[in-house]
């Protein structure tokens, strides 16, 4: 039986806990969090990104996160807490599940960038 996007999102949301902007700020204060923006470049250019976040488009995430990949980004370390977000929370849920599948244990879905910005979270303009 074929899998649907709905099925994939349900599995991702079950595997990756959603956190509020306030919870994310608390995690970030501990100093061992990697915040990852998985939106497309044009989206980031239009709105900015969470202050200090690393931008890795959803299509490149596994390549950047896997230490065995020639495209590995050294910001990714499996001992860090990883907070992933996008425009609405769907891509970040799928991204979080992919990170879990790659062996990252502490992965959280921050959800929508606009929720972060509207809550007063710091934003880097790009």
> What pLDDT, in 10s, does the model give residues 56-105?
999 999 999 999 999 999 999 999 999 999 999 999 999 999 999 999 99
Residue 53 DSSP label: P
The full set of domain ranges for the chain reads 5-119
Interval 20-70: pLDDT, tens = 999 999 999 999 999 999 999 999 999 999 999 999 999 999 999 999 999
What superfamily in CATH does domain 5-119 come from?
Answer: Rhodanese-like domain (3.40.250.10)
Quote the distance between the C-alpha of residue 50 and its chain's center.
11
Decide if 39 contacts 87 (C-beta within 8 A): yes
Report the length, in residues, of the chain.
Answer: 126
Asked if residues 81 and 33 have their Cβ atoms less than 8 Å apart, the reply is: yes
């Amino acid at each position: 039986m074929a899998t649907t996007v709905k099925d994939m999102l349900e599995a991702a949301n079950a595997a990756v806990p959603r956190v509020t902007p306030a919870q994310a700020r608390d995690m970030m204060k501990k100093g061992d969090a990697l915040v990852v923006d998985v939106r497309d470049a044009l989206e980031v250019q239009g709105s900015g990104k969470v202050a200090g976040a690393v931008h890795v488009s959803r299509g490149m995430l596994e390549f950047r996160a896997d230490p065995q990949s020639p495209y590995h980004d050294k910001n990714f370390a499996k001992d860090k807490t990883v907070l992933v977000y996008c425009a609405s929370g769907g891509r970040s849920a799928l991204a979080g599940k992919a990170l879990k599948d790659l062996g990252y244990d502490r992965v959280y879905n921050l959800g929508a960038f606009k929720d972060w910005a509207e809550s007063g979270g710091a934003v880097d303009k790009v």
